[in-house]
Amino acid sequence: MSAAATLYVISAVLEVGGIIKTVADILNARQNLRDYIRRPRHVYPPGATAAVKAYDAAATSDPKTLERRVKDLEEWKRSVLPEELNRRDGEVTARLEARLQGDLDVSRRSVETQLMEVSEYLEGGLQSATVSYWGPAALFAGVVIGFCGNLVALGGI
């Protein structure tokens, strides 16, 4: 077998192998992307806890008349109730703001984690650096060796 024919055979094998490897890499990339999209996402749990506060009613030993009870209730309604409502409103608002901020922080961390994972996938961090270059490299080597075979066949080398 002549040198040119040997180079042609090597060139053909490399080119066909390069094309097959490139197509296989493309199909594997599609499967890897499908698997990546279907995998479970990491979602951070909220860290808020519910605070429960019980209020004790003050009990007295002396019996009160209905008029005295109504008078005490009216006085409580004028003096204590507005302050108590403002205090409770402030507490509820502070708890809701803390809970909302906690939920927003958790959502932000979950989205940031997902974006980092997507970026890592798109940059190729989940595969070896050479996996997608073997096919084109073999194809390029096959073309170069085929060119060398043409030069040998023409008597140039």
Phi, psi of 49 (to 5 degrees): -120, 150
Instruction: Look at the pTM and tell me if it is higher than 0.75.
Output: no
The tens digit of pLDDT for each residue in 77-128 reads: 888 888 888 889 999 999 999 989 988 888 888 888 888 877 877 776 666 6
Question: What's the CA gap between 112 and 105, in Å, rounded?
Answer: 10
Question: What's the CA gap between 115 and 117, in Å, rounded?
Answer: 5
The tens digit of pLDDT for each residue in 8-59 reads: 899 999 999 999 988 888 888 788 778 777 877 766 676 655 555 545 455 5
